[in-house]
Copies of this chain bind each other. A is one copy, B any other.
């Protein structure tokens, strides 16, 4: 086995595999090293198993509308929770298998083991020192468990252990209502687990807009008691756990800790790189190139703590992989921010957050789905959308929403923001009937009134001279 490589990739997760796909275009002399279980965070313990659980939960929850629709017998339905979890694991294994296919064919160019940096061009794996022209750090992250909670052992679940369970609870405290906590709490509650939910902040699921947050809170509160605004404390009581938060004390059998993730950098040897590290032991890096300082070292995916989302991790892996062996390290334009939380209604944050916009430089266009026609037809008329547009030129800057089909509306808005489109450009698009996009249009028209006055038409005059230009 060679001791010198063109590139060594640490971590065979989403970022590492994306980097690998780029590196392979330039060389066969690479090594990818993985510590712990193979398969990406997303496929093993993240996006995929959670979505499998959520799809089952929402399918079951739909029975609440059956009688209204004219469908009888809903009371005979029940959840076979072990079967739900069995399907989650079976399909998860399938998704994991597809990520393994990439490394399984690499022979000695893929190695299992813990890597430790020994300098900006040197890695020690399984006691062996290996050198490389370029090193890509993509070691991922792990769920954070506060130190005192570790004493509760398997009574405290994380996403690493949740999907391995056959039974949960029956009383489950979900602590942390960020994107992950919010969606899992709702799914488990809908599957019949007695969920009590706790969050330190009143704003949930990464939202910043109080009107949108209020919609989410209403939705979640229909499925479980919500305790927010105070730090939750755990205490062992009679074989269970007492959760105290402010004046509230709730007894549960288990706790799902959803209080964030931490980068996998323990023992990684980042201090040997010769660049300054911050108080968390992390080096500075350029998000456009993923490069660490001036080194031929790149840091991509969840480990860098910048944008812990699959699609961003994949982009960072590709960027790191393209730069690793390039003559010149280049900066790549990052995508318009987009995050989606798969609650029901779905939550999304697109583009610039209100936190970064200064009134009165922007206008807000808003619309409720409470009376929206198509949403009523489908018995899912709840939620709200808020759009933020530049007060001067009408350019769409961002949006927050908690709305039916929110994931789809968010993509449409993501395209619009990424293309620098204005409110009036969006109003010129075709919108069918009856669709949920008409709710988005109501918000666009609200913004348009504030920007252009009540009489502005969606329809543009034909350009003179037969040109096809819009305006």
* Partner-B contacts on A (CB < 8 A): 25, 42, 47-48, 51-52, 55-56, 59-60, 62, 65-66, 68-74, 76-87, 91, 95, 288, 309-311, 315, 318-319, 322, 330-333, 335-340, 373-374, 376-379, 405, 407-412, 414-416, 418-419, 421, 425-426, 428-437, 455, 457-463, 470
Minimum Cβ distance to chain B for residue A15 (Å): 13
Nearest B residue (CB) for A464:
B331
- Do B332 and A461 touch across chains, with their CB atoms under 8 A apart? yes
- Do A47 and B434 touch across chains, with their CB atoms under 8 A apart? yes
Minimum Cβ distance to chain B for residue A40 (Å): 10
CA distance A330 to B376 in the complex (A): 37
Report which residue of A288, A335, A419, A430 has the largest number of chain B beta carbons within 10 angstroms of its beta carbon. A430
CA distance A333 to B415 in the complex (A): 23
Contacts of A408 in B (CB 8 A): 405, 408-409, 411-412, 436-437
Minimum Cβ distance to chain B for residue A439 (Å): 12
Minimum Cβ distance to chain B for residue A171 (Å): 21
CA distance A455 to B70 in the complex (A): 53
- Do A76 and B76 touch across chains, with their CB atoms under 8 A apart? yes
Contacts of A69 in B (CB 8 A): 55-56, 59-60, 84, 87
- Do B311 and A430 touch across chains, with their CB atoms under 8 A apart? yes
CA distance A379 to B91 in the complex (A): 11
A59-B71, A333-B459 as given contacts; A412 in contact with B415, CB under 8 Å: yes
Minimum Cβ distance to chain B for residue A30 (Å): 18
Contacts of A42 in B (CB 8 A): 433-434
- Do A428 and B335 touch across chains, with their CB atoms under 8 A apart? yes
Contacts of A418 in B (CB 8 A): 428-430
Contacts of A379 in B (CB 8 A): 55, 59
CA distance A318 to B459 in the complex (A): 9
- Do B434 and A51 touch across chains, with their CB atoms under 8 A apart? yes
Q: Select one of B48, B405, B459 contacting A332, CB under 8 A.
A: B459
Nearest B residue (CB) for A426:
B415
CA distance A272 to B421 in the complex (A): 47
- Do A338 and B377 touch across chains, with their CB atoms under 8 A apart? no
A71-B59, A95-B373, A432-B339 as given contacts; A76 in contact with B77, CB under 8 Å: yes
- Do A311 and B66 touch across chains, with their CB atoms under 8 A apart? no
- Do A78 and B87 touch across chains, with their CB atoms under 8 A apart? no
CA distance A103 to B435 in the complex (A): 25
CA distance A167 to B414 in the complex (A): 46
- Do B340 and A432 touch across chains, with their CB atoms under 8 A apart? yes
- Do B430 and A414 touch across chains, with their CB atoms under 8 A apart? yes
Known: A70-B84, A411-B432. 15 other contacts (CB 8 A): A55-B379, A59-B62, A70-B82, A70-B83, A71-B84, A72-B83, A288-B462, A310-B432, A318-B457, A318-B459, A331-B461, A332-B461, A338-B432, A408-B409, A418-B429
A77-B74, A432-B340 as given contacts; A91 in contact with B457, CB under 8 Å: no
Nearest B residue (CB) for A289:
B462
Contacts of A60 in B (CB 8 A): 66, 69, 71
